[in-house]
Every structure is written in structure tokens, then in C-alpha cells.
Amino acid sequence: MIQILSEGDGKGMLLSMEHLTKVYPGGKTAVDDFNLEVEKGEFICFIGTSGSGKTTTMRMINRMLEQSSGTIKINGEDIAQMNPVKLRRKIGYVIQNVGLMPHMTIRDNITLVPKLLKWPVEKRNERAKEMIKLVELPEEFLDRYPSELSGGQQQRIGVIRALAADQDIILMDEPFGALDPITRESLQDLVKDLQEKSGKTFIFVTHDMDEALSLATRVVIMSYGKQVQVDTPDNILRHPANKFVADLIGQDRLIQARPSITTVGQVATKAISAREDQTLKQALGEMHTKRVDTLLVTNNEGKLTGFVGIERLNHYYGSGKRIGDIMDSNVFYVRKDSVIRDTVDRILKRGFRNVPVIDDDGKLIGIVTRATLVDIVYDALWGEADKSNSNDSGQTKETEDNPDKEAGKTESQAEVTQTTEDGDQK
């Protein structure tokens, strides 16, 4: 067996595609100057409208198609120099319609490539058991035929068939397109899980943006054979390269994604603050003119050091003390880089009207108001339909809900409060 995927060559890229172009006989340019460097362990999604060249690009990787020009290298080695049959045995391939062999048992289907690689029969059977466990199907299924399995089950077998020979690169062409949403989601979880556990590299074609955004480490957006944008899901949501990408993502999704990509810093508004060395009189004057009941306190460098409420100010008024002497330094804040999704829970639960936002040096850069957060989160949950009544900013004028209401420990970063949906269990 030739070790075509051996480490080395120094370039460090598992897969590199340079200036790939594919012109079909008849003159149709299906792929136009495609460039991509893929590192080991990446999960690349190709997404684009139908006919944008996703399948064509993918099929050049395992030489199901020959490119018209350009080079594809695996670990630095030009695949054009390799034996195509041996190359394909080293690359897992899940085709759109599963393509299980109807006349072979599930066991024989799973171990099809190991058999081509002449693994001994015990090792093959061992692998079949391992693999079917991986997708949470009973071992009895190994003796069944594909027609005796449901669509979702067949699709699972299709996925593990592409993994059974320890392929390092797995190509998947719209593998879940024909499945119902629940099965699809559970298979997406499975694939993501496999990828994270195994460190295998996936190239995954889809036309489902949700699928791409949830699975990919990087997304390649294609249109008419060209790459429109290649970036992480977050960056694509944050900065769609052009209107085509934005449309492809869709307005709803951009709104939905806001809590998980918008940082606190982006929605922060101006804070009303005082310096430690100011007099109480000055501070009270500031409160009056700005009509607020609490002032955040910073030192001379602008770092957040505490806060002071109007009652406390009143209490010490005339004592000759400075703000720094009477302020409460037990202040709750968030960092500007935390995303809203990760902070909103704690902020809302504590009932704060607003929370100071600091930068990496501890400097106060503003506040986020409860109203802003609620706005974003509600939009994400229910769309922008009823968006009329809740767009105020700045510190609110009511009294109670101040940072001292719950004098918790100051926390620097929010703990991640991701939710993972776990749809299917067989």
C-alpha cells in the first residue's frame, strides 16, 4: 500500500488547490481560478447556488474529474502524479445520494474500501463493528441490506463507509440534502463530533447556510465558479463580502446571529462617569445635568475603579471627601470583546439596568443597557417583526437597579453559555 498521505514536505498544508480551473467539454467554465489551502483538521464547507461549481471542485480533489488547469497537492505532492484508484482509496467520499450497494450487506458496504485495500477479514469485521457503534446503530444491522434501513440510517452508513479505511480527507457532497430536518440535525452533530474527535479533514458541499455555519471552521462561498468569500462563519456573518453573500445568508440569519457575533463593545453607549479625584459637589452637579442616579468612577488613566450612587453622595455631601473616598469599588463589568450571547444571561438575571464595559486595559469605554440587549436577543428569537417600542440608549433615570444591587464579585469574562441542541437519539 502506498502511503500517499504521509506527513512532511514542510509546507504544512494538508491540501492545497492552486489556480484550479475546470472547463467542461462544450466550453462551460464550471470552476474559475479556485484557490484554497486547507490545514489538517479543518472543516471546510463549500456553499453557493446550484451550478456554482461546488461539486466540480470537490470531484477534482479525488480525481473523479481532471482539472483543465491548476494544481492540487496533498501534503505537497501533486495528485496528478498519483495513481487515481489508489488516491481515491485514501480519500473518503460521501456522494449526494448515499450510493450504498444494494446487493451488499451493511457490513460489506462499510468495509468496502478496507477490502479493496486487502485488509484481513478479521480486521475488517472488527472495523465494521467499531464503525456501526460510532453512529449508534445496533450490531445486528451489519447483516442487513441497505433497503432494510431507513433513509437516515442509510445516510449514517454512507458516512462511516467514508471513514472506515482511516481516510484523512473526507469529501461529502450534500450528504444530508434529502433528509428530514431532525435526522439531518442529528447527522450534522454526528459529523461535527467525528471531525472534532478524529482530527480528520472534511470538505463538505452544501446549499444549506445553517448547515455551513454550524459545521464549518471555514466557509467557501461560490458563485458562477468563482470564490466570493472564504472565511470563518463568524467573520462571514459579521462582514458579508457583498450583497450576494448577505442575501445568501439571509436577513433573518444575520439578525439571529447577532447575539453570537455582536460584541458588547459594539453596542456600548456613552457612560456617564466621574473621576476619583473630583469633589462630591462636582459629581452631584454632573448627576443633575445628565439626570442620572449613579456615576461610574474612573481613575486618572480612565480605568474603571468603582461607582457611586446618589444616596451615598447625599450622605457624605459636605464632608469634604472626594469621590474616590466614598465610592463602592465592588463593580460588575463586562469586557468589550465578549459577545452578547455569552453575557446577556448574567446581565439580565441580575436585573441590572446597565453594565459598564471596559477594554483590555481596564479602561471604561461605555455601558450596555438592558434595553439594548433585550432588543437584540428578542430580535434573534422572534425576528424583527415587532420592533417599535424598545430602542433607548444611555443610562436610565430610575433609581434602584444599580450596579450595587447585587454586589457580586467582579467577573472579567462571561462563562460560555452555549446551548447545544441534541435532536435525534436514533
Ligand X SMILES: Nc1ncnc2c1ncn2[C@@H]1O[C@H](COP(=O)(O)OP(=O)(O)O)[C@@H](O)[C@H]1O
Report H helices in 200-296: 209-215, 233-238, 243-249, 251-256, 258-261, 264-267, 280-290
- The string of DSSP letters for 375-412 reads HHHHHHHHTTTT-SS----S----SS--TTTT-----S
Instruction: Give the nearer residue to ligand X in terms of CB position, either 52 or 111.
Output: 52
52 binds, among other proteins, ligand X, Mg ion, none (CB under 5 to 8 A by kind): ligand X
Residue pair 186/27 in contact (Cβ under 8 Å)? The answer is no
Judged by CB under 8 A, the residue of 148, 180, 193, 196 near other proteins is 148
Q: According to the binding rule CB under 8 A, does residue 418 interact with other proteins?
A: no
Return the residues of window 14-53 that contact ligand X according to CB under 6 A.
24, 26, 28, 30, 48, 50-53
**Neighbouring C-beta atoms of residue 258, cutoff 10 Å:** 21
Q: According to the binding rule CB under 6 A, does residue 403 interact with ligand X?
A: no
| Sign of the C-alpha dihedral computed for residues 306, 312, 314 and 320 taken in this order | negative
- Spatial separation of the C-alpha atoms in residues 91 and 61, rounded to whole Å: 9
Nearest to 249 by CA among 282, 278, 289, 210: 210
Return the residues of window 52-71 that contact other proteins according to CB under 8 A.
62, 64
Q: According to the binding rule CB under 8 A, does residue 99 interact with other proteins?
A: yes
70 binds, among ligand X, other proteins, Mg ion, none (CB under 5 to 8 A by kind): none
Judged by CB under 8 A, the residue of 48, 146, 309, 366 near other proteins is 146
Q: According to the binding rule CB under 8 A, does residue 116 interact with other proteins?
A: yes
Contacting residues for 298 by C-beta, under 8 A, at least 6 apart: 273, 274, 275, 276, 304, 305, 363, 364
Residue pair 69/19 in contact (Cβ under 8 Å)? The answer is yes
Q: According to the binding rule CB under 5 A, does residue 55 interact with Mg ion?
A: yes
Least Å from the CB of residue 75 to other proteins: 18
For residue 244, give the C-alpha cell: 450576494
For 333, 337, 394, 420, the CA distances from 355, given in Å and listed in that order, are 6, 14, 11, 27
Q: According to the binding rule CB under 8 A, does residue 102 interact with other proteins?
A: yes
Q: According to the binding rule CB under 6 A, does residue 382 interact with ligand X?
A: no
Instruction: Give the nearer residue to other proteins in terms of CB position, either 127 or 258.
Output: 127
Q: According to the binding rule CB under 5 A, does residue 52 interact with Mg ion?
A: no
Binding site for ligand X (CB under 6 A): 24, 26, 28, 30, 48, 50-56
Binding site for Mg ion (CB under 5 A): 55
Binding site for other proteins (CB under 8 A): 62, 64, 85-90, 93, 95-103, 112-113, 116, 143-148, 161
